[in-house]
Amino acid sequence: MGFSERLEEIIEERGISKYKIAKAIDISASTIGNYIKGKTRPDPTKLSVLSKLLGVSKSWLQTGEGPKYLLEEPEIAYQQTPVGLNEKLVIERLLNLLDKQHECIREKDMQITQLIRKIPDVPSQN
């Protein structure tokens, strides 16, 4: 099992979204996706922050060696940070906006595809 599989395993185990992880360590959700797909790996600083956030040892996350969890009971660092009701509402609204934006982009993409299909083929002038 490589880094990307271990990362995916612990993210699923923790039940945390890529958006939450990305926000917590100040990177994009697509970067987290690239880590999971094995396209890229985090630099040492991001790896350290990521392992602490997920409550696993840096060496386990990086190599699969050593103890998996940092703490005896697997607690998650992001859960130890109190989040107020207003912050939860803001996060919820932002996630809803992201979903709406994604849907709008998908609709526009479909409209563009339909318009492209209506463009007649222009014969080449050889």
What's the pLDDT at 84? 65
**Does pTM surpass 0.95?**
no
DSSP string, 55-87: TB-HHHHHHS-S-SBSSSS---HHHHS---HHH
User: Does any domain span residue 125?
Assistant: no
What's the pLDDT at 81? 52
Look over the chain and give the mean of its residue pLDDT values, rounded to a whole number: 84
CA max distance for the chain: 74
Indicate if 46 and 98 belong to the same structural domain: no
Indicate if 11 and 54 belong to the same structural domain: yes
Indicate if 23 and 66 belong to the same structural domain: yes
pLDDT band (50, 70, 90) for residue 26: confident
